[in-house]
Chain A
Amino acid sequence: MKELLNKKGLIIGLSLILLIVFVFGGMYSRYMTKQIDVHEVERYESSLVELVDDGESLEDFESEGANLSYQIPGSEDEYSPELIEAYTVLDDSGDEIAVIYVIETIGRNEGVRAAYAISLENDELLGMKTISNNETPSFFGRLNDRFYRQFVDKDMDVIDFSIDAVSGATYSSLAFETGMKFARELYAEDYGFEIINVILEINSLEYNSDLDTINDYQFVAEITFDEDNKTSVIQLDGDFNYIGTESGDEVTQAVKDALPVFVPDANLINTDVTINNYDSATRKLTVSVSGFSSSGVTIDLLIDESLDSVTSIEYVSSGESYYEQPQGSVENGFVDTYNNDGSIDSVDDYAGATITANAMKTVIEWIQSFESSLNGGN
């Protein structure tokens, strides 16, 4: 051995050095590569924890799951969102304070993956974070901060558990809304949260044409509700909030709360016209219709003495503006034609003011309908 070391010691030593570098250097390299994945997981988990204030760490969570189907955006077909993983979020004392569901849904394309964090303390959706997607970047990029803020501290104990879609990214918006709703269903399964469930059908909806009560409520609706199929005729304000019952069964509070959601969804009549005020002394009914601007166009209807017809209409004000024409000209054009002819059939389309013209057509159609229903339609 000693002789071998004397003779070959140097080459053995040099070779050993190479071997050591190969083994330990290789381990170092592998460690470096492995760390890339470790850091990626750390960053991922950290980004999830950041959804929850006071969140410190994550713990794997086994969800009960939920078997629900939702409509594929732009299709009649349905699909079941996929629960990818779930975590509970712990605070610095190790208490569970929130649950996070990572859910994959379908937008324009498959694979919209996002995390939804729900507070265990107050049953609120705390926030949402996109994990990955295969959406068209130019469309997906339209989802702005305002859109994402809708998911922050959102009350889940409501009938209207939805978000406003972003124009130009409707399908992507729907993917997140579906994910959010599915997360609520999962939360209900896992933590016994009761999702408000209302049985309600809107059978009919019409404007209130009774000038004595028109300032009190704007709409009259016939509804069927509860498992016993109770029916009522109810009064609603301009935002479809419950005002009173005209006839039928007593309406429950859950149904009252659900009306502002269910009535517009029923889409029974055009409700673009808003009744602002009726002055019985002057017999002047003021209404407005939304157009290009949020303030829209305001019109006065002069009711005759017998209260059964509209004598004339007057243009009051408008927030509309349009291309190369003075403000109010389009609105006045419709008003004058209506007052002279009793209809607007002779009005040509207004190029460059299409939305305003459509608003005026809507309000005049409404006036004609309203007039026919005045005084019981006599």
Chain B
Amino acid sequence: MARFAGGKAPFLRLSDEKGKNTNTIMRDFMIALLPVVLFSWYKNGIQVYIDGNINFFEMLYPLFLILMGGFLSVVMEGIFFYITDKKNRNLNDILRKLSTSYAAIPGVILALLLPVYTPIWVLMFATFIATIVGKMLFGGFGHNIFNPALLGYAIVGFTLSGFITDAGGVLNGSEILVDTYAGATPLGIFAQFRNTGEAFSFAALVEPYGNLWDFFIGTIPGALGETSALAILIGGVWLVARKIIKWYTPVIYVGTVFVISWIIGMIAGDAGLWFPTYSILSGGVMFAAVFMITEPVTTPTNSLGKIVFALFLGVLTVLFRFVGNLPEGVGTSLILMNIFAIPIDTYSGIIRTKGFKKPGLSFISVLAGIFLIIAAYTIIASVNMYTAFLPIINIWQVI
């Protein structure tokens, strides 16, 4: 007879590898982040230093920022534990709690989502939002609704992004010298096209940054950890191999973004694969796919739930890229989907145990309907799609 676990995620199956526990999961997670951290440091620090555009002290800053994200997160959780638990205020108690709280991970992920010139005080504020507001106030590890790192990133994005720009912004010391970048990330350029209603083209969106290979390797402007699809994939392969994440969650998410973007590209008159490829390789799609939508606490735990979650997230990511105020749609869509993680998990769990019967069937029908509506709206919301529709609308009016 099948057994089901209750309570909050993350869950560990007894049948899994012997000796594996939450500690090993988090350790593997940190190992998976290592290629991303190292590439980020190389691209924004070491390479720029080799280019002769910064000095040694400046070269260390990207690494310092990332490590400081994790460190601050730990310190803030320690303070929180001290303040909220009057009976266990000695160092050993706090260290014991910290060891099972995995405080460093949201801090490191948060830092990887931020631009290289993020001031430390902004990072501190973001870490506070992520760790204290996003995680500890909800009850700590395993109880939070929102991805803590993402919450910190989103709050900073909406409130303090001007300070980051003033401090130097997203372009590193070498990128600032490249005229074709025009001071913007690929999605920043995309947003300009979106706002003006001009049709996008390979020459306008990709060529200023080289080619799609550069997007894959990660030698393009962007937040510290999001540019290198290669480094992210290495981390992703490690997590899949270690059975920390399910392979299909990132694949379905990235695949959905790819397909929706492809449809938009085709209807806009450009059927090339470059646009969907550009869509998945720019911004935070790949990073979110491997490190955020696989996060065990704030996403569904069962297979069906993960699939539904990834599908909706993919559509919303594209939608928010076309209609949102921010160039990137990943953060907004993921926060939104975090809210629905529990109901999706609940109903998909029912479907798994009882099959497609009421209320599961009605639930899945409603979900499918919502999915189709959002997908259709996403496509229509793209300016280029609307432009492509104009001749049809005109013909309709003539008839």
Contact = CB atoms under 8 A, between A and B. Distances in A.
Contact of A10 (B82, B120, B121): B82
B64 interface: yes
A39 B57 CA distance: 14
A21 interface: yes
A45 to B, nearest CB: 15
Interface in B57-82: 57-58, 61, 64, 68, 71-72, 75-76, 78-79, 82
Contact of B55 (A14, A26, A30, A35): A35
A319 B71 CA distance: 79
A323 interface: no
Interface in A19-36: 21-22, 25-26, 28-33, 35-36
B124 interface: yes
A11 interface: yes
Interface in B186-236: none
Given A28-B64, A33-B167, A35-B55, A21 B79 contact: no
A15 interface: yes
Interface string B158-178: 000000001110000100110
Contact of A32 (B58, B82, B91, B123): B58
B387 interface: no
Contacts of A30: 119
A11 B120 contact: no
A14 B167 contact: no
A32 B55 CA distance: 10
Nearest to B121: A26
Given A14-B75, A31-B57, A25 B68 contact: yes
A18 interface: yes
A10 B168 contact: no
B61 A32 contact: yes
B53 interface: yes
Interface in B9-67: 53-55, 57-58, 61, 64
B94 interface: yes
Nearest to A31: B57
B397 interface: no
B275 interface: no
Nearest to A30: B119
A21 B119 CA distance: 11
Contacts of A11: 79, 82-83, 89
Nearest to A29: B119
A18 to B, nearest CB: 6
A28 B55 CA distance: 13
A25 B168 contact: no
Contacts of B91: 10
A30 B57 CA distance: 13
A299 to B, nearest CB: 51
Contacts of A28: 61, 64, 120
B365 interface: no
B223 to A, nearest CB: 16
Interface string B343-364: 0000000000000000000000
Nearest to A37: B168
Contacts of B57: 31
Contacts of B173: 36, 39
A342 B57 CA distance: 86
Contact of B167 (A15, A22, A32): A32
B153 interface: no
A10 B79 CA distance: 9
Given A21-B68, A33-B167, A14 B82 contact: yes
B11 to A, nearest CB: 32
Contacts of B53: 39
Interface string B112-123: 000001111101
A28, A33, A43, most chain B CB atoms within 10 A: A28
B53, B64, B168, most chain A CB atoms within 10 A: B168
Nearest to A13: B91
A21 B124 contact: yes
A316 B166 CA distance: 72
A158 interface: no
Interface string B79-101: 10011000001110010000000
Nearest to B89: A10
Contacts of A347: none
A17 interface: yes
B82 A29 contact: no
A9 to B, nearest CB: 9
A17 B119 CA distance: 17
Contacts of A25: 64, 68, 120-121, 123-124
Contacts of B123: 25
A39 B175 CA distance: 13
B83 to A, nearest CB: 8
Interface in A244-279: none
A29 B123 CA distance: 11
Contacts of B72: 18, 21
A32 B56 CA distance: 11
Given A29-B119, A29-B167, A35-B58, A18 B124 contact: yes
Interface in A308-333: none
A17 B120 contact: no
Given A11-B79, A32-B61, A33-B117, A22 B124 contact: yes
A35 B75 CA distance: 29
A282 B282 CA distance: 81
Interface string A273-315: 0000000000000000000000000000000000000000000
Given A14-B75, A39-B54, A26 B120 contact: yes
A37 to B, nearest CB: 10
A345 B167 CA distance: 75
B177 to A, nearest CB: 8
A299 B94 CA distance: 104
Nearest to B116: A32
A26 B94 CA distance: 27
Contacts of B124: 18, 21-22, 25
Contacts of B117: 29, 32-33, 36
Contacts of A33: 117, 119, 166-168
22 contacts: A10-B94, A11-B89, A14-B75, A14-B79, A18-B75, A18-B76, A21-B68, A21-B72, A21-B75, A26-B120, A28-B61, A28-B64, A28-B120, A29-B117, A29-B119, A29-B167, A30-B119, A31-B58, A32-B58, A33-B167, A35-B55, A43-B177
Given A30-B119, A32-B58, A36-B168, 8 more contacts: A10-B90, A11-B82, A15-B79, A21-B71, A26-B120, A29-B121, A35-B54, A35-B58
> Nearest 8 pairs between A and B by C-beta?
A25-B120, A29-B119, A33-B167, A29-B120, A14-B79, A11-B82, A36-B168, A33-B168
Interface of A: 10-11, 14-15, 17-18, 21-22, 25-26, 28-33, 35-36, 39, 43
